[in-house]
Structures are given as C-alpha cells and as structure tokens.
Chains A and B, each alone.
Chain A
C-alpha cells in the first residue's frame, strides 16, 4: 500500500483545520474590536 496519499491527507487535514481555526479567531477578533472602537468614537 502506497503510504503517501495517507500522509498527504493527514497533513492537509491538520493544516486546513488549524488555518480555518486561526482565520475564524482572527476575523471574529477584528470584527468585535472594530465594533467596540466604532462605539467608543460615537
């Protein structure tokens, strides 16, 4: 059995899910901090 498709799939899952987590956390932080700053300026 060729092991490389399994290795590549495992790395794709790890990189994809970690990237998605970081992007979601970053986007939600930026959105919330921008809303708080906008309210402070009012």
Chain B
C-alpha cells in the first residue's frame, strides 16, 4: 500500500490498469449477461425472473464491497496518513452508490413478480437502503470537506462508523426472517444448481472490474484536479 503513496508511481500503474479493467470488465459482463439471458434454464419455482440474479447479486456485492473499500481507505488515512487514502475513499463512493442503487432497483423489480410487491420494509431491503443513503452522505461530506480545504478526517471517521451497517446487511436475513430469502451462496458452496449458477461468476468478476475502472478513473481525475489547483495557487502567489 505504501509503495503506491507516491502519486506519480500510482499513476504509472493506474493508467494501463484502467484500460485493462475496462476491457476485461466489459467482455466478462456482456458474456455473463448474454449467457444468463439466453443459455441457462428457467428456475423451477421463479421461472425466467431468476435471470435478474446475474445483475442483482453482483450489484449487491459491489454496493457492500465499495463501503469496505471506503472503511479500509478511512482507516489507512486516520492511522497511517496515507496520502492517497482520502482520494481513494472519495473515488470509490460514486461507484458504490451507483451499485447500491442498481441493487435496490433490480431487487424491487425482481420482488414484484416473485413476492407480489415492489417494496417491503424487510431487514435486508431496509439496511441496503440505509447503505445507499450512507453513500450519499459520504459524497456530500467528502466534497464539502474538500472545498473547505480540510484533510478529510471527518469524512474518514464517517467512513469507519458507516461500516457498522455491513454486518447488519449480511446477517439481516438470519436475524429478521421476513420476505428476502436466506443466503444461497456461501464460501463453502451454493444451494443453486450449477446449470443456473455458472454465468454468475462471469458477471461478478466483470462488474467488479468495471467498478474498479470507474474508481481508478475518479482517482486520476481527483489527482489531476489537485495538480491544477496547486499550480493555480502557486501562480496566484507569484
């Protein structure tokens, strides 16, 4: 991590990585979605609506992974004062908010034919909605602190405190057994048949690469903006 503390060294790695992540992500996401729409059989109970899983599960994973990244960046900023940590946290937030939003909307669309309702104040849905609002708060706080020339410590503390919601989302289906189904994919296996499951790793890896590409592009934009601001200040002082 500290090897990347130098922005010039970081950019030397980030520039080619952005292109590769975009290319690999696009190919895997498109192939995974096409396979999920055309090659897999319908579920015996849910029918064709099960195909929403190939986009809903990756977006749920990325919504949560995004905040894990923010929490890691925040700790790195508060403890080790890593110079790129605040930039990384602010860069991850829009991508995390987008995927949390996709998760909520696709879940709602999946819920209508499956549960007969667009929305239910169930533990999983509500905690995911809270995550989405946490992202909006983080983005607002991050840009406000940056405009005031702050170091981003308040935003970092908010990033660490907001991580409390992650175990709540994960265990919500066990703590409050309401509409949302329990865990079907764990670390040791899955209750979903392989004939339906196989495109899911493709979309998971594909969307993860696209998420990483978006975050890297935002980091590059923030670093370039900071360079311009610093130069303008120097020119103004002369």
Q: List chain A positions with a Cβ less than 8 A from chain B.
A: 1, 3-4, 6-7, 9-11, 13-15, 17-18, 20-22, 24-26, 28-29, 31-33, 35-36, 39-40
CB within 8 A of A6: which of B52, B95, B218?
Answer: B52
Please report whether the interface of chain A is mostly helix, strand, loop or mixed according to DSSP: helix
Q: In the complex, A2 Cα to B30 Cα: how many Å?
A: 24
Q: With A10-B52, A25-B94, A25-B214 as given contacts, are A33 and B47 in contact (CB-CB < 8 Å)?
A: no
Given contacts A10-B110, A11-B33, contact A21 B94 (CB under 8 A): yes
B22, A14: Cβ atoms under 8 Å? Answer: no
B window 90-116: CB within 8 A of A = 94-95, 98, 101-102, 105-106, 109-110, 112-113
A21 touches B98 (CB 8 A): yes
Distance in Å: Cβ of B91 to nearest Cβ of chain A: 9
Of the residues B47, B56, B228, contact of A3 by C-beta under 8 Å = B47
Partner of B221, one of A4, A7, A15, A28: A28
B151 within 8 A of A: no
Do the beta carbons of A7 and B49 come within 8 Å of each other? Answer: yes
Whether the pair A10, B207 counts as a contact (CB closer than 8 A) is no
A30 to B231, CA, bound (A): 18
Q: Which residues of B are at the interface with A, using a C-beta cutoff of 8 A?
A: 22, 29, 33, 37, 47-49, 51-52, 55-56, 59, 94-95, 98, 101-102, 105-106, 109-110, 112-113, 207, 210, 213-214, 217-218, 220-222, 224-225, 227-228, 231-232
Question: What residues on A are CB-neighbors of B48 within 8 Å?
Answer: 3-4, 7
Query: Cβ of B109 and Cβ of A9 under 8 Å apart?
Result: yes
Residues of chain B within 8 A of A21, CB atoms compared: 94-95, 98, 214
Q: Which of A4, A29, A39 contacts B217 (CB 8 A)?
A: A29
Please name 6 pairs of A and B residues whose Cβ atoms are closer than 8 Å in the assembled complex, sorted by A: A7-B51, A18-B98, A22-B217, A25-B213, A29-B220, A35-B228
Residue of A nearest to B116 (CB): A1
Of A6, A11, A24, A32, the residue contacting B228 (CB under 8 A) is: A32
CB distance from B106 to the nearest CB of A (A): 4
- Which residues of A sit under 8 angstroms from B214, Cβ to Cβ? 21-22, 25
